[in-house]
Amino acid sequence: MKKWWHDKVAYQIYPKSFYDTNGDGIGDLKGIINKLDYLKELGIDIIWLSPIYCSPMVDQGYDISDYYNIDPSFGTMDDMETLLKETKKRNMYVIMDLVVNHCSDKHEWFRKALEDPDGEYGEYFYIREGKGNKPPCNWRSYFGGSVWERIPNTNKYYFHAFAKEQPDLNWENPKVKEEIYKMINWWLDKGLAGFRIDAIINIKKDLSFQDFEADGDDGLCDMSKMLEKVIGIGDMLKELKEETFDKYDAFTVGEVFNAKEGELYKFIGKDGYFSSIFDFDMEVLGQEQSNRWYLNKDFTTNQLRDVIFKSQIEALGIGFKANIIENHDEPRGASRYIIDGECNDISKKALAIIEVMRRGIPFIYQGQEIGMTNNKVDCINKFNDISTIENYDRAIKEGFSKEEALRLVNKFSRDNARTPFQWDNSINAGFTKGTPWLQVNENYKEINAKLQIDDKDSVLSFYKKLINLRKSNEYKEVVVYGEFIPDLEAYDNVIAFYRKGANKCLMVIINYQNKEQIINFNKTYKILINNYKDLKFVNNELMLKPYQGIIIEIL
Ligand code: TEU
Ligand code: CA
């Protein structure tokens, strides 16, 4: 059955770094309203806002102290309502980040829990007695250290999967669930189109809290060990959607890393828990353990191609994944998926084809469309992100030199994607008239939106072309619903596939390497999109230039 969101294109805004209108160095809701026409022009339908709720910002808004209000640094509820009105006018939709695995330690529920751990609000969290002088078990939080934090003057500990300022909410408590459902419906009633659902796979814990074998020098073990084993998340997610999203035909995207093999249909199938889930297969390539970046391995283009194919095929006949090449937790796609020294407008356009032409819902992250790249930071103190600093410290504890640790966090830091949006070549890239909360990438004079808007050969214009193709009357059906069929796998470093629809068949061929590649080819075709001016085709041979990417219609 067709759904309203199937043919849409989504865009993630990281509000703090998008556009600042009052000179405090922090992007705001008015800034987003100001740039809606830019997004509309790009072809965006759905905007996902990273959290803008009240927050002490220990984890940039992913620590919420009040779910019903807007953090003053972003604006007011009036601004939010204006944003909803202005998007509606433009036939655009807004989804917000739903962060309900945990809240902030400043949330009133948690403050009350600390006052009386054995009382009603203690039950809103996971509070357990320590084992002798030690925490209840040896699981490692995603941001390092134990998942348990001792409550002062007691032998009780509370559970936090992320930072200690992000206590996990107790999803086994019906009252907590009721509060969460009420809050979700309150927002949907306001006119939100849905949610991106944060860290949701963590809501189900194995309540036996037993130790696992340590996998690091810290004597702790990755939480994934527990998540792989625990059962029962399905019931929670089913109830969640029935009590909320279903009633509104909302669009939901789950941040799900650990869907078990063969269980995708439960998440995004016809009666799935969510409309879609992110495809993180490219992002976790080479990753040894969650959030221990210094252990990450390099990967080849063939490996990259293989994970893309595998993930695409997995979703066929089941549902639609949300396709990304970067987000606010990841390095810039152009820096991660293009070899250093080969990153240029041509290769960025090749990557853009992968973003938009996979089957699923494209989610473009702010700045991706102009080819923003990783930032270079020369000193650990210049990072802001909690996870970056923690990774650096841990790498050093585990024996890496300071230089090596700095190099590695530069490569993977979440701040790479969080530097301010580069609007133009004026001071601070036109992001703010004040002092930006995070250093602007120094390449803003070469990479900015203003330079690219009127340049028909820019990365930005190329994204527009791709989105236009996806939305055109002629090719919409095949780009949105067409099957995904891999091809040319015998060629190294070539990423090629068909999108086969009811009446049309498109083929994507990308020579994803810095040298020419000849490909035997005996089909009749029409070129729809090409990141070079021409395409050499002689005697049944396609001669692809370095990083040449084409979309052709097979006739
Ligand atoms: O991320 C969840 C998550 O699993 C992250 O730990 C992710 O693996 C990591 O950031 C990659 O480096 C979500 C949000 O997207 C993230 O920004 C938050 O910090 C986190 O939840 C806690 O709310
Ligand atoms: Ca501001």
| Residue 251, pLDDT score | 98
Triad 498, 338, 358: Cα angle to 5°: 25
Confidence class for position 289, pLDDT limits 50, 70, 90: confident
Query: Is the model's pLDDT at 258 over the cut of 80?
Result: no
Q: What is the mean pLDDT of residues 483-495?
A: 98
> Ligand 1 atom 9: the closest Cα is on which residue?
329
| Residue 98, pLDDT score | 98
Confidence class for position 5, pLDDT limits 50, 70, 90: very high
Q: Is 228 a catalytic residue?
A: no
Q: What is the mean pLDDT of residues 441-448?
A: 98
Structure tokens at 64: 């919420």
105, 198, 283, 415: the catalytic one is 198
| Residue 291, pLDDT score | 85
Q: What is the mean pLDDT of the chain?
A: 97
Question: pLDDT for 112-153, tens place per residue?
Answer: 999 999 999 999 999 999 999 999 999 999 999 999 999 999
Structure tokens at 441: 């990438």
> Is 329 touching ligand 1 by the criterion CB < 6 Å?
yes
| Cα-to-centroid distance, 528 and ligand 1 (Å) | 38
Question: pLDDT for 143-190, tens place per residue?
Answer: 999 999 999 999 999 999 999 999 999 999 999 999 999 999 999 999
Atom of ligand 1 nearest to the CA of 328: 17
Structure tokens at 429: 């890239």
| Residue 115, pLDDT score | 97
Contact 268, 360 (CB under 8 A): no
Q: What is the mean pLDDT of residues 499-528?
A: 97
> Is 162 touching ligand 1 by the criterion CB < 6 Å?
yes
> Is 160 touching ligand 1 by the criterion CB < 6 Å?
no
> Ligand 1 atom 12: the closest Cα is on which residue?
329
The answer, as to whether pTM is greater than 0.85, is: yes
Angle between helices 174-189 and 233-243 (to 10 degrees): 40
Pocket test for ligand 1, best of 142, 159, 414 (most atoms within 8 A of CB): 142
Query: Is the model's pLDDT at 337 over the cut of 90?
Result: yes
> 39 pairs with which residues across the strands?
none
DSSP 202: G
Query: Is the model's pLDDT at 290 over the cut of 90?
Result: no
Q: What is the mean pLDDT of residues 86-109?
A: 98
Pocket test for ligand 1, best of 14, 328, 329 (most atoms within 8 A of CB): 329
| Cα-to-centroid distance, 275 and ligand 1 (Å) | 20
| Residue 259, pLDDT score | 83
> Is 142 touching ligand 1 by the criterion CB < 6 Å?
yes
> Is 296 touching ligand 1 by the criterion CB < 6 Å?
no
> Which ligand sits closest to the CA of 51?
1
| Cα-to-centroid distance, 329 and ligand 1 (Å) | 6
**φ, ψ for residue 42 (rounded to 5)?**
-70, -25
- The region, left, alpha or beta by phi > 0 then psi within -120 to 50, assigned to residue 232 is left
